[in-house]
């Protein structure tokens, strides 16, 4: 779509070279970020972003679509790009407004009567793909709404549905750890659930937002089948998103559900994953109404079979329905998402005892889990969102959603390695539980001017209520070995039993305000904002009695700056914080009953972004200070004076380097150090599970001598990582190579895409370390095959 827009504008550049100097507004270039869509919607957005009045006869745009426009253009060239292929042209009136008419034959004249339309951006839409189609040109920046990546003063990447399909990803975490150099797995790929690290800090899977609302995704694993975008914000984001459910600091992820395109879609996909996992996926989209204002998108998927890991099988089902309405002033959307997962023999991690050398990594196919171990979970989510243009410059928005998640599992929670020979102690636990969540947001966005300054003001509030129930039966321990596991016929006699009961309740509520002030046509953009966050939580005993209560608040400011001396170049800087619930002092501290306000992790970041039209890049330098609780050895007073400081440099690139050659990846250098540790004994040491160097370098090549065939490859490198705060234990660096290819062709008049790939091509054994000191095995060599057919 971007290519169409650029081609259309380029073809018309000579025609507009003779524009009279007196039409200053026509000649001034502005930056536009308008995705493809119904012609009426794209014209409305153009009118809004260009600050013009546009007259459009209603029957002139019906049924027509536009490729959109992205980049810096004069208003005349922007019209040419948006109207390319529609048979229409824009005509400037004497009062400075514009109207549309059919493009006349040579010498024809005549202007149609105008109906004024004030354009508005649709906040629920997604940015168009960048060149190469793997990432998008912009993303949702929390409170600030949709922004072009060049105008975003944070490190943010939005991965597209096309990339999800081409990578044959089976979870959100899987895609991120494969493609992003700042992200690594914090949980084994053969486990029942996902967690990741961003900038060396752990982020739980349950802290992924769905269409901007937190608390609505399955706690274990998020299927990518219903998703249009996977957006990752690196670094804290309290102003943008409020406090995350578990107070993660390293970053956040937002996933965006699919919407029906203007062209009908019926896509069927069959899949195979070694050793014998077979699956299918149906993706159906339609639009209805005179101008295609109503849309429905249905996704259904199922996968079942034995994985490459010994004695492990899985069954995954997902079903989603997405509805939307696109009016001139009102936009509505709604989603229902159901996911059901079952895994037998979920692979768990390891914890080495202090003082031993970490043993060599075992073959990743080896599974310590017992044959009777299983994990079952189910999740149901419903959410809706609405936007209404109160005036041409003010938009009201709101969203609400709920989630019901339940699970039961009998598993080994992980083994404790006791010597370098790999001997270990493990045990079994049966656990069951459920959670209920209600999440909502509401607010208003306004665009206005004060003298030469443009303002994008937003005021919003967020609310998240979560309640959990938990029950557990603990069984005895047994001896095993990470290279030759012990096999049991059953978990043995139970040692203790806790019936399912209410376990915890939490309410997060906040209000925020932010204003982006821009001058000189966007040359300088300054964002100022503040959020007040309130946290209320309670823990309960099995009897129902409240055992702990917490109710505190904190105010967190942020300031961010973008300077764009050229359309192709921007510099950015930000100061932003993350909020985490204040911890409770230990019982033996001098102040065991003191209650702490949510503590603040602080980030300072500067960087630069490049957009060459077909290739983009980001270079960023950051520092994140994460406080922690320590007890003064002299006074025994507990305080939040401990500190971990993560300093890093990130370089990433994406797009097309040449005809048919695409790249995606980058390098992350990280210096994560402990400071102000308990008694000072670990001051200056490396933080646990934070490698100093990570790199993901991927490339694709459309081979010219095999029409429709694309060769793809990726190299992933992770440096040495420490397992303990005293830095006496570590795991070595590792490198993984992946290889794949796809063939796009037509069979019986239908578009067909065949995909094949292999992960861990050379079947390397390697350890990964996470920030909790947990060891996880790398992914075994895995083969993936799929065939997609557009009917």
Indicate if 500 and 615 belong to the same structural domain: yes
Angstrom CA distances, 200 to 631, 721, 771, stand at 25, 10, 7
pLDDT of residue 29: 60
Query: Which range marks the domain in which residue 212 is found?
Result: 138-257
Q: Where does a domain end: 238, 257, 276? A: 257
Residues 46-58, mean pLDDT to the nearest whole number: 71
Residues 332-346, mean pLDDT to the nearest whole number: 97
Indicate if 582 and 542 belong to the same structural domain: yes
Q: Which residues contact 504 (CB under 8 A, 6 or more apart)?
A: 466, 467, 468, 537, 538, 539, 540
Whole-number Å distance between alpha carbons of 130 and 722: 38
Phi, psi angle pair for 768, to nearest 5°: -120, 140
Whose CA is closest to 208, among 181, 171, 155? 171
Task: State yes or no: pLDDT of 744 exceeds 70.
Answer: yes
The 10s digit of each residue's pLDDT in 441-475 is 999 999 999 999 999 999 999 999 999 999 999 99
pLDDT of residue 17: 34
Q: Would you say the C-alpha torsion 724, 727, 732, 734 has a positive or negative sign?
A: positive
442 lies in some domain: yes
Indicate if 235 and 361 belong to the same structural domain: no
Indicate if 420 and 493 belong to the same structural domain: yes
Which residues make beta-bridge pairs with 533?
510, 554
The 10s digit of each residue's pLDDT in 557-572 is 999 999 999 989 999 9
> Is the distance from CB of 710 to CB of 656 less than 8 angstroms?
no
User: What CATH number is attached to the domain comprising 146?
Assistant: 2.170.130.10
Whole-number Å distance between alpha carbons of 463 and 718: 38
The 10s digit of each residue's pLDDT in 417-430 is 999 999 999 999 99
Please state whether the peptide bond connecting residue 275 to the residue before it is cis, i.e. omega within 30 degrees of 0. Answer: yes
Q: Is 62 helix (H, G, I), strand (E, B) or coil?
A: coil
| DSSP string for 184-200 | EESS-TTSSS-EEEETT
The 10s digit of each residue's pLDDT in 349-378 is 899 999 999 999 999 999 999 999 999 999
Task: State yes or no: pLDDT of 251 exceeds 60.
Answer: yes
Task: Report the DSSP pairing between strands 98-102 and 54-55.
Answer: parallel
Burial class of 584 by CB neighbour count within 10 A (0 to 12, 13 to 18, 19+): middle
Whole-number Å distance between alpha carbons of 600 and 589: 22
Q: What is the CA radius of gyration of the chain?
A: 27
Whose CA is closest to 239, among 576, 626, 600? 576
Whole-number Å distance between alpha carbons of 712 and 782: 16
The 10s digit of each residue's pLDDT in 205-229 is 888 999 999 999 999 999 999 999 9
129 lies in some domain: no
Q: Where does a domain end: 205, 223, 257? A: 257
Look-up: residue for tokens 């609505």?
216
Whole-number Å distance between alpha carbons of 585 and 306: 46
The 10s digit of each residue's pLDDT in 607-666 is 999 999 899 999 999 999 999 877 777 788 888 788 999 999 999 999 999 989 999 999
With bands split at pLDDT 50, 70 and 90, how would you rate the model's confidence at 115? very low
Residues 297-304, mean pLDDT to the nearest whole number: 98
Indicate if 230 and 303 belong to the same structural domain: no
> Is the distance from CB of 402 to CB of 215 less than 8 angstroms?
no
pLDDT of residue 737: 98
- Pull the structure tokens for residue 677: 């540790």
Most confident of 4-8, 53-57, 315-319, 539-543: 315-319
User: What CATH number is attached to the domain comprising 93?
Assistant: 3.55.50.30
Whose CA is closest to 155, among 693, 515, 655, 606? 606
Indicate if 317 and 431 belong to the same structural domain: yes
pLDDT of residue 124: 46
pLDDT of residue 28: 54
Indicate if 575 and 693 belong to the same structural domain: yes
> Is the distance from CB of 274 to CB of 266 less than 8 angstroms?
no
> Is the distance from CB of 270 to CB of 258 less than 8 angstroms?
no
248 lies in some domain: yes
pLDDT of residue 14: 33
User: What CATH number is attached to the domain comprising 513?
Assistant: 2.40.170.20
Indicate if 171 and 36 belong to the same structural domain: no
- Pull the structure tokens for residue 331: 């936009």
Lowest mean pLDDT among 261-265, 356-360, 434-438, 606-610: 261-265
127 lies in some domain: no
Task: State yes or no: pLDDT of 514 exceeds 50.
Answer: yes
Count of structural domains, the chain = 3
pLDDT of residue 13: 35
Angstrom CA distances, 533 to 57, 103, 219, 278, 401, stand at 48, 55, 23, 46, 20
**Terminal alpha carbon distance of the chain:** 21
Indicate if 284 and 393 belong to the same structural domain: yes
pLDDT of residue 135: 96
Residues 111-130, mean pLDDT to the nearest whole number: 50
Whole-number Å distance between alpha carbons of 251 and 235: 4
The 10s digit of each residue's pLDDT in 392-404 is 889 999 999 999 9
Interior CA angle at 170 toward 168 and 176, to 5°?
85
Indicate if 180 and 318 belong to the same structural domain: no
122 lies in some domain: no
Indicate if 599 and 741 belong to the same structural domain: yes
pTM value is 0.85
With bands split at pLDDT 50, 70 and 90, how would you rate the model's confidence at 50? confident
38 lies in some domain: yes
Look-up: residue for tokens 């009908």?
264
Look-up: residue for tokens 């459309």?
702
Share of residues in the chain with pLDDT > 70 (%): 91
Indicate if 168 and 230 belong to the same structural domain: yes
Whole-number Å distance between alpha carbons of 589 and 568: 56
Q: Where does a domain end: 222, 257, 292? A: 257
Whose CA is closest to 471, among 404, 537, 407, 415? 407
pLDDT of residue 495: 95
> Is the distance from CB of 501 to CB of 511 less than 8 angstroms?
no
- Pull the structure tokens for residue 121: 């951006």
Residues 320-340, mean pLDDT to the nearest whole number: 96
pLDDT of residue 57: 61
With bands split at pLDDT 50, 70 and 90, how would you rate the model's confidence at 72? low
Whole-number Å distance between alpha carbons of 330 and 521: 29
């Amino acid at each position: 779509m971007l290519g169409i827009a650029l081609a259309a504008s380029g073809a018309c550049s000579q025609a507009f070279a003779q524009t009279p100097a007196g039409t200053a507004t026509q000649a001034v270039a502005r930056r536009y970020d308008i995705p493809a869509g119904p012609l009426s919607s794209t014209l409305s957005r153009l009118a809004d972003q260009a600050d013009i009045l546009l007259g459009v006869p209603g029957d002139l745009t019906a049924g027509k679509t536009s490729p959109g426009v992205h980049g810096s253009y004069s208003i005349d060239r922007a019209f040419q790009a948006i109207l390319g292929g529609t048979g229409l042209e824009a005509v400037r009136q004497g009062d400075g407004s514009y109207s549309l008419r059919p493009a006349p034959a040579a010498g024809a004249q005549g202007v149609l009567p105008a109906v004024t339309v004030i354009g508005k951006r649709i906040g629920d839409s997604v940015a168009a793909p960048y060149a190469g189609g793997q990432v998008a040109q912009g993303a949702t920046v929390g409170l600030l709404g949709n922004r072009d990546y060049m105008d975003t003063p944070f490190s943010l990447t939005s991965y597209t549905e096309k990339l999800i399909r081409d990578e044959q990803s089976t979870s959100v975490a899987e895609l991120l750890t494969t493609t992003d150099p700042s992200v690594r797995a914090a949980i084994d790929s053969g486990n029942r659930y996902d967690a990741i690290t961003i900038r060396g800090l752990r982020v739980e899977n349950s802290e992924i937002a769905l269409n901007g609302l937190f608390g609505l995704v399955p706690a274990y694993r998020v299927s990518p089948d219903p998703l249009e975008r996977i957006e990752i914000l690196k670094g804290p984001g309290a102003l943008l998103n409020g406090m995350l459910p578990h107070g993660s600091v390293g970053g956040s992820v937002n996933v965006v559900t699919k919407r029906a395109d203007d062209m009908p879609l019926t896509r069927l996909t069959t899949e195979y994953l070694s050793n014998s996992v077979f699956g299918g996926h149906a993706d159906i989209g339609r639009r209805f109404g005179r101008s295609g204002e109503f849309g429905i998108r249905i996704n259904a998927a199922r996968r079942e079979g034995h994985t490459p890991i010994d004695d492990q099988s899985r069954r995954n089902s997902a079903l989603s329905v997405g509805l939307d309405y696109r009016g001139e002033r009102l936009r509505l959307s709604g989603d229902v998402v159901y996911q059901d997962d079952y895994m037998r023999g979920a692979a768990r991690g390891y914890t080495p005892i202090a003082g031993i050398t970490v043993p060599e990594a075992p073959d990743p196919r080896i599974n310590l889990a017992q044959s009777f171990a299983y994990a079952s979970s189910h999740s149901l989510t419903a959410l809706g969102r609405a936007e209404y243009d109160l005036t041409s410059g003010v938009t009201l928005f709101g969203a609400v959603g709920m989630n019901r998640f339940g699970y039961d599992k009998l598993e080994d929670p992980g083994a404790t390695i006791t010597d370098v020979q790999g001997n270990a102690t493990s045990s079994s636990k049966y656990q069951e539980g459920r959670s209920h969540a209600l999440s909502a947001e509401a607010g208003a966005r306004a665009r206005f001017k004060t003298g030469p300054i443009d303002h994008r003001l937003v005021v919003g509030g967020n609310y998240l209520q979560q309640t959990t129930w938990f029950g557990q039966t603990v069984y005895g321990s047994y001896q095993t070995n990470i290279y030759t596991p012990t096999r049991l016929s059953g978990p043995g006699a139970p040692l203790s039993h806790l019936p399912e009961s209410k376990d915890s309740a939490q309410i997060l509520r906040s209000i925020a305000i932010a204003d982006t002030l821009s001058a000189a046509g966007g040359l300088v953009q300054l964002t100022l904002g503040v959020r007040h966050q309130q946290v209320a939580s309670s823990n309960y005993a099995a009897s129902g009695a409240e055992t702990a209560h917490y109710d505190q608040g904190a105010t967190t400011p942020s300031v961010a700056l973008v300077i764009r001396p050229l359309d192709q170049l921007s510099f950015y800087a930000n100061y932003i914080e993350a909020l985490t619930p204040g911890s409770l002092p230990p019982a033996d501290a001098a102040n065991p009953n003191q209650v702490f306000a949510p503590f603040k992790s602080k980030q300072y970041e500067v960087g630069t972004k490049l957009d060459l039209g077909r290739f983009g890049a980001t270079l960023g330098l950051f520092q994140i200070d994460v406080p922690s609780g320590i007890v003064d050895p002299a006074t025994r007073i507990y305080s939040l004076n401990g500190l971990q400081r993560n300093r890093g440099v990130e370089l990433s690139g994406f797009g097309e380097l040449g005809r048919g050659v695409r790249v995606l990846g980058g390098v992350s250098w990280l210096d994560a150090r402990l400071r102000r540790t308990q008694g000072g004994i670990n001051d200056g040491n490396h933080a646990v599970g934070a490698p100093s160097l990570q790199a993901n370098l991927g490339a694709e090549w459309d081979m010219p001598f095999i029409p429709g065939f694309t060769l793809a490859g990726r190299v992933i490198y992770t440096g040495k990582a420490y397992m303990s705060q005293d830095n006496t234990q570590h795991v070595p660096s590792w490198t993984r190579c992946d290889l794949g290819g796809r063939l796009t062709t037509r069979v019986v008049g239908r578009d067909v895409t065949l995909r094949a790939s292999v992960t861990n091509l050379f079947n390397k054994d390697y350890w990964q370390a996470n920030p909790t000191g947990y060891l996880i095995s790398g992914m075994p060599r895995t083969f993936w095959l799929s065939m997609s057919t557009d009917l």
